[in-house]
A and B are shown apart, each in its own frame.
Chain A
């Protein structure tokens, strides 16, 4: 897979091997992806000093975050559809992230990485791919997916700074 920044600000990912398509799309197609993250991960350290704030957060902010993440999810799935509907006989595929969808992708890459880490009890990311003898195959697959999503997110961050 390689990535290039287009003159109009879009990011083009090309030469994606068919085996990588499933690794890339499968975790992002889970419907409940963002709600688990909002409920379990973001809430944990919100504030310990004011129970009323926590209550307000659940009542007012959670629905806003859910709506935001849901909108991001839709944009990402729309862009990834190019991978699914391209000519099935074509071995190498591509997809494009429009400039207007960059922010949605940045957020979704974190959501999907957090979700994979939580599901597979991965507590630390980085310097692990060469030292994973004790991981089960499901964990290895999840780690590889986390790395792929990290690469996409890093490409987006670099594009943001240009």
Chain B
């Protein structure tokens, strides 16, 4: 087993990866969709347990919004499309 330090050939590449922007998928409250419907959609799309889905739904209802997921923009776009396919007001926000 060698103990030689790892020498990066191109450290700038690593730096770029570290600065990759992170996006989050947010669902906003709306006055029409049923709370049970919102819970069901969260379970369907994110695979949440009923307890987690209900907690997120209550955040939406009480605080006006809830963050459902964070990660790359491409994946976030897919989640937003799926949520909007169920008529929830979903948005994509850049965290940093």
Pairs across A and B, CB under 8 Å, 20 listed:
A46-B90, A48-B91, A49-B93, A49-B94, A53-B73, A61-B84, A64-B81, A106-B37, A107-B86, A110-B32, A110-B33, A111-B87, A113-B32, A113-B33, A114-B30, A114-B32, A117-B32, A124-B31, A153-B37, A157-B37
Contacts of B28 in A (CB 8 A): 45
Known contacts A65-B84, A107-B85, A117-B31; A46/B37 CB under 8 A: no
Kindly supply a per-residue 1/0 record for chain A positions 140-162, scoring 1 wherever the CB is within 8 Å of any chain B CB and 0 otherwise.
00000010001001100100110
Contacts of A160 in B (CB 8 A): 40
- Other-chain contact of A106, B30, B73, B81, B86 (Cβ < 8 Å): B86
Interface size on A, residues (CB 8 A): 33
> Any chain B CB within 8 A of the CB of A125?
yes
Contacts of A45 in B (CB 8 A): 28, 89-91
> Any chain B CB within 8 A of the CB of A26?
no
User: Chain A interface (Cβ within 8 Å of chain B)?
Assistant: 37, 41-42, 44-50, 53, 61, 64-65, 68, 106-107, 110-111, 113-114, 117, 122-125, 146, 150, 153-154, 157, 160-161
- Other-chain contact of A65, B32, B73, B85, B93 (Cβ < 8 Å): B85
Are B91 and A47 touching (Cβ within 8 A)?
Answer: yes
Contacts of A42 in B (CB 8 A): 84, 87, 89
Contacts of B17 in A (CB 8 A): none
* Distance in Å: Cβ of A5 to nearest Cβ of chain B: 16
Contacts of A123 in B (CB 8 A): 31
- Other-chain contact of B81, A49, A61, A107, A146 (Cβ < 8 Å): A61
Q: Report the bound CA distance from A65 to B90 in whole Å.
A: 14
> Any chain A CB within 8 A of the CB of B57?
no
Q: Report the bound CA distance from A53 to B32 in whole Å.
A: 26
- Cβ-closest chain A residue relative to B91: A45
Contacts of A64 in B (CB 8 A): 81
Q: Report the bound CA distance from A64 to B80 in whole Å.
A: 13
- Other-chain contact of B85, A68, A122, A153 (Cβ < 8 Å): A68
Find residues 47-96 in chain B having any chain A CB closer than 8 Å to their own CB.
73, 77, 80-81, 84-87, 89-94
